[in-house]
Amino acid sequence: MCSAFSDPIASIEKVVLRGRRPRTIGSNARIGVHGPVVTDPVVRICTAGGAVGVGWSALDRVRAEALLGVRPAELFELPGGSIRDGAAIDLPLWDLAARCEGVPLHQLLGARGSREVELYDGSIYIDDLGVSDDEAKRIFHEEVQTGHDYGYRNFKIKIGRGARWMPVRAGTDRDVLVIHAVRQAAGPDAKILIDANNGTTLNIALDILERCQDAGIYWFEEPFPEDRAFNEAFKEAINQRGYNTLVADGESGPPPPDFFDMVRSGWIDIVQHDFRYKGLTWWKATANRIEPWGAKCAPHCWGSVVERYAHAHFAASIPNYSLLEAAPADMPGIALEGWQMRNGRLTVPDTPGAGFDVEPDVLERGVKSEGGFRIGIRDRDRSRRPAPPPRP
C-alpha cells in the first residue's frame, strides 16, 4: 500500500450532483412514476499529504466527522478492500488506492475482464398506461430511438403491468406487445432484457417467454420473489423448452438466506445486488465466489450516473461480468478522464483511479448547497471546543 494511506484523512467534501433524463420515467410493476431527475451524492476524501479519493457515497456529516484524522490504512487494505468503518466510503477509498498506486482501478482489481464494457439502457419503464396499443408502440419506438441517440444498443423493459396497473390478462398482453415493439425498434442484434420487479408469477413468466420466443429474451429479471421451488421450476422449464434466457435476481434486499444456494444450483444465472450499497469490496469477493459456479455479475445501479465509472472498472476486472445497467441522462459537473462510449460499449480508460472527479466550480457550489458539506480536522476540533465561561 502506498505511503499516502498512512497519512490521516484531513478533509472530507460532499456534493449532490443533479441531472435530468430526456423524459419522465414512468412506473415499474410496484412503484409509480419515477420522474425525470437523477441525483448522485459524491464524496471526496483528502489526506494530510494531499492524496485524493472520489466516489459515490451516502456519507453524512456526523459519520464524516468521525473519519477525520483516521488513517486510510485503518479503513482499507489490499487485496480485499474496505474494513470496519471503511464501508461508508468504499468507492472513494478504492479510487484513492488506485490513484496512490498510479494505476487504473480495474488494474488494481485484477484486470481479468474486457475494457470494452457492454451497457444496456434500463429506462424503458411502464409509460403507456391508458393508451391504445398503437400509441404504446409509438411511445416505445421513440424511447428506443432516444436510447440510440445516447449511444445505447441494448434495452431492458419493465413488465408486470398486471401486478398493479392493469387487469392481469390485459397487463400481460400489453407486456408482450411492448416486448415485441422494442425488439422491432432495437433491431435483431440488440440484447433485449425484461424486468418484472417481482410482479409476475411462475406461470405468467413462462407464458410471457412462450409468447416472446421470437423476440429473443436475453435475461428475465426478478420474475417473482426468490424461492427455491419456484426458481428451480422456472429454470427447469426454460431449459426444457430451449428458451436460452438467463435468470437475473438479487436486487431486492435482503434476498433470502439460501439465495447463493440457488445461484450455485444454476437456478439463478446473474447476481444483481446493488452496487452502491453493497460496495465494490463486497462485489469483488462475490465475483470470485460465484465464478466457479458459472454465474455472472450484473449489479443493480439504477438511479445513478457517476456510479457507472467505478462499476465499469469492476466489470473490466473480472471474467464473469454480464451487462452494465445505465440510462440516458445529462449530469453537469462530472469531470471525466479518457472515457469513451461507442456502439453501446463504455471504454474504460487507463488513467489512475476511477477516472472521474467533480468539476472545481461545481464542487465549490455543491459543498454549500443542500446535502453538501466540507469539513476538516480544524472544523471538527473547533466545533468540539467547549464554550468559554461567561464573563463575571
Buried b (16+ CB within 10 A) or exposed e, 4-15: bbebbbbbbbbb
- Distances 85 to 55, 320, 363 between C-alpha atoms, Å: 16, 29, 25
Residue 134 lies in domain: 116-354
144 and 83 belong to one structural domain: no
94 and 235 belong to one structural domain: no
> What is the tens place of the pLDDT at every residue in 147-181?
999 999 999 999 999 999 999 999 999 999 999 99
- Domain annotation covers residue 158: yes
**Total domains present in the chain:** 2
Whole-number pLDDT of residue 340: 95
- Domain annotation covers residue 392: no
- Domain annotation covers residue 107: no
Model confidence at 191: pLDDT above 70: yes
Across the chain, mean pLDDT equals 96
**Number of other CB atoms surrounding residue 98 within 10 Å:** 24
How far apart are the C-alpha atoms of 110 and 319, rounded to whole Å?
10
Q: Are 112 and 14 in contact (CB under 8 A)?
A: no
How buried is residue 112: exposed, middle or buried, by Cβ count under 10 Å (0-12/13-18/19+)? Answer: middle
pTM of the model: 0.94
348 and 376 belong to one structural domain: no
160 and 293 belong to one structural domain: yes
266 and 121 belong to one structural domain: yes
Q: Which three cell numbers stand for residue 90?
A: 468504499
Q: Which three cell numbers stand for residue 257?
A: 438466506
How far apart are the C-alpha atoms of 8 and 69, rounded to whole Å?
5
Model confidence at 57: pLDDT above 60: yes
- Domain annotation covers residue 251: yes
Q: Which three cell numbers stand for residue 254?
A: 435482503
How far apart are the C-alpha atoms of 33 and 39, rounded to whole Å?
16
How far apart are the C-alpha atoms of 278 and 87, rounded to whole Å?
9
Provide the pLDDT confidence category of residue 386 given band limits of 50, 70 and 90: low
72 and 146 belong to one structural domain: no
- Domain annotation covers residue 391: no
- Distances 146 to 134, 140, 313, 327, 330 between C-alpha atoms, Å: 19, 10, 26, 10, 13
171 and 295 belong to one structural domain: yes
β-strands 345-347, 340-342 pairing:
antiparallel
> What is the tens place of the pLDDT at every residue in 61-97?
999 999 999 999 999 999 999 998 999 999 999 999 9
275 and 231 belong to one structural domain: yes
CATH number of domain containing 152: 3.20.20.120
Q: Are 52 and 371 in contact (CB under 8 A)?
A: no
Q: Are 118 and 154 in contact (CB under 8 A)?
A: yes
Buried b (16+ CB within 10 A) or exposed e, 265-276: ebbbbbbbbbbb
- Domain annotation covers residue 205: yes
